[in-house]
Structure 1
Amino acid sequence: MHSHHSHSGDYIAHGVDPLEDVTNRAIEMKFHTYCMTEHMPRINPKYLYPEEHLDRADDTAAVEKLHSDFAKFLDHAQKIKSRENSAGTTFLIGVEIEGCDQEHIEYARKLLEEKRGIVQFSVGSIHHVDGIPIDFDQDAWNRALATSQNNLKKLLLSYFDLQYCMLMRLQPLVVGHFDLYKLYLPKDLKVDLETGYCVENGTSISNLSLIKQWKQVQDSVIRNLKYIESYGGAIEINTSALRKKLPEPYPGKDIGLLAKEYAGGRFVLSDDAHAVSQVGVCYDEALKYIVEDLKLDKMYYITEGPIDRAVKLESIPIEQFKSHAFWSTNFSKKAL
């Protein structure tokens, strides 16, 4: 079994448990491959989260801590990677890109070049629209919508445009939580179907596929997927959405089927764990989604070369994927 995206409480403020404990759980659960992918350090203080502020009078120290913590993570991850373990779990070292804006994307490009000998791949993800985080809390999501002129269609287009910029500049091997904007998307939101503006007498979005509803949005998604296909990237099936009580993982079925058609059908699995209790979280539900909803005949995972540690995507037939020793541990159903 595999996870291509994980975090710990050692190196990010919103994580919980130490990296050693997270990776030990992956060994205990008999993971085949587990990737350590802490967030890249942000460079602009305006993107600091509340829990990251050390001194509100001077955020320079807080930004510097993000950079020092990332350096410590890389050192620690190399030690974990080099150890033998009882399950033979392969640990890979990656980084989750924070495509906050163009400046941060360009910094990520520089960072990946500087750390090429250590960082083996990146998880490319978007967490902001117009500089506002969309997965932090409901208030921030609402502010992002307001900045988009209270127009849901515009918010989605802004999200996918920034994602496209990130894809073109960085070509991440794994594209993380493709439709993260849906985490705080209000179920009772009503929109004008023609314009996308949120209006009281509009149509409820609860039973709509927003991707299919607006051709311009669907075209943006397909554009991004085609680009991912062009350089050989993979779409992450991220179970943190299920952990957070959404009905589908990231991406949902509407985007998942488009990815199957336009992005070469390359999907990898991730738990996006931030704590020991989240390792392998909701994988039983993800398996059902993979087999019954997307009807995939194979899954992908990252492997590395024996000499230069260069990584590439390998496929595994779905029947072999389903028979991995991980499923017999029954941990996936117990994870919270």
Structure 2
Amino acid sequence: MHSHHSHSGDYIAHGVDPLEAVTNQAVKMKFHTYCLTEHMPRFEAKYLYPEELDSKHDESGAIAKLQRDFKNFLEHAQRIKNRPNVSNTQFLIGVEVESCDLDHIEYAKRLIEENRGVIQFSVGSVHHINEIPIDFDQSEWDRALAASGNNLKTFLLAYFDLQYEMLRNLQPLVVGHFDLYKLFLPRDLRVDLETGACGISGTPVSDISLINQWEEVQAAVVRNLQYIEEYGGAIEINTSALRKKLPEPYPGKDVGLLVKRHCGGRFVLSDDAHGVAQVGVCYEQALNYILHELNLEKIYYLAETADCQNVKLEAIPIEQFESDAFWRLYGKTR
């Protein structure tokens, strides 16, 4: 079994358990590959979260702590990676790039290059629209929509345009939670099907496919997927959406079918765990989605190259994936 995206309470404020506990759980569950991908540090005060500011840390102190934590994470991850474990779980070291804005993307690119001997790959994701976080809480999501002129089509185009800039600059091997914007998307939000304007009239978003509703939005998604296909990246099936009670993982079926058509169907699996209880979470639901909604013929995972300096995507037939011992041991309980 594999996961290409994880976090811990040691190195991010919204994590729960120590990195050692998270990785010990991955070993206990006999993961074949488990990737350690703490967040790239943010360097501007406007992108700090309330949980990162307390009586011990003002803005400059909080930024300095993010830098220290990232350095400590890389050192800690190396120790875990190089340490034998009873399940022979392969730990790979990556980093998640939040892509707050173009400056943050450029900063992330430099920091990855500076640590190329340690960082083996990146998870490229988008967490902001108009410099406002869209996965922190409902009020921030609403504020991001308001900053898009209260127009959902404009909101989505801004998201996918920033995602495209991230892809062009970083070419991440793993593209994280492709449609994260749906986390706080109100299902009863009403939208004009022609213009994208939100208001008291219009059609509930629960009745439409946002990706297929507007040609411009679908074109932006296809552009991004074709670029990922061009440089050889993969889209993660991220089960954190399921543990947060969304009906589908990231990405949803509307995006997933476009991945099959325009990106070679290259999917990897991730739990995006932030603590022990989330390791391998909702994987059985993800298996059902993979088999019966996307009808995939293969699944991909990251493996080290022979020199152990780089990683590459490997594919396994879906029959082999479906017969993994993980499903017998943990499929019904996670």
Tell me the TM-score normalized by structure 2: 0.98
> 1:93 aligns to what SS in structure 2?
strand
Q: Distance in 2 between matches of 1:66 and 1:54?
A: 14
Q: Tell me how far 1:57 sits from its aligned partner.
A: 8.7
2:333 is equivalent to residue 334 of structure 1 = yes
Q: Following the alignment from structure 1 to structure 2, what is the Cα–Cα distance between the partners of residues 262 and 52? A: 39
Q: Which amino acid aligns with 2:132?
A: I
Q: Which amino acid aligns with 1:334?
A: T
Q: Percent same amino acid among aligned pairs?
A: 68
Conserved 8 A contact 1:123-1:173: yes
Q: Secondary structure at the match of 1:272?
A: coil
Could you list the per-position Cα deviations for residues 114-170 of structure 1 after superposition, in whole angstroms to 9, with x for gaps in the alignment?
Answer: 010000000000000000000000000000000000000000000000000000000
Change in CA separation of 1:309 and 1:325 when aligned onto 2, cut-off 3 Å = farther
- How far apart are the structure 2 equivalents of 1:250 and 1:58? 34
Q: Check if 1:127 corresponds to 2:120.
A: no
One-letter amino acid matched to 1:118: V
Shift of 1:334: 2.6
How far residue 173 of structure 1 moved from its aligned partner, in angstroms, is 0.3
1:177-228 Cα deviation digits (max 9, x unpaired) = 0000000000100011110000211111112001100000000000000000
Q: For 1:119 and 1:137, how far apart are their aligned partners in 2?
A: 30
Which amino acid in 1 is paired with 2:225?
A: L
What does 1:174-213 align with in structure 2 at a 5 Å threshold? 174-213=174-213
Deviation larger for 56-65 or 279-288:
56-65
The answer to whether the Cα contact below 8 Å between 1:135 and 1:141 also exists between their aligned partners in 2 is: yes
Name the CA distance, whole Å, in 2 between partners of 1:95 and 1:126: 13
Report the CA distance between 1:58 and its aligned residue: 3.8
Question: 1:310 Cα deviation (Å)?
Answer: 1.1
- Report 1:41-80 matches (<5 A): 41-54=41-54, 58-80=58-80
Equivalent AA in structure 1 for residue 73 of structure 2: F
2-side partners of 1:313 and 1:274: how far apart?
24
1: CA distance, partners of 2:303 / 2:43: 31
Q: Which runs of 5+ in 2 are unaligned?
A: none
Mapped partners of 1:159, 1:291: distance in 2: 29
Q: In 2, are the aligned partners of 1:189 and 1:205 still within 8 Å (CA)?
A: yes
**1:265-287 deviation per Cα after TM superposition (whole angstroms, max 9, x unaligned):** 11000000001000000000000
Q: CA deviation at 1:56?
A: 9.3
SS at match of 2:207: coil
Per the alignment, residue 269 of structure 1 pairs with 269
**Pairs aligned (count):** 334
Distance 1:30 1:57, change over 3 A: closer
Amino acid of the residue matched to residue 30 of structure 1? K
**RMSD value, Cα:** 1.1
Following superposition, the deviation at residue 307 of structure 1 comes to 2.2
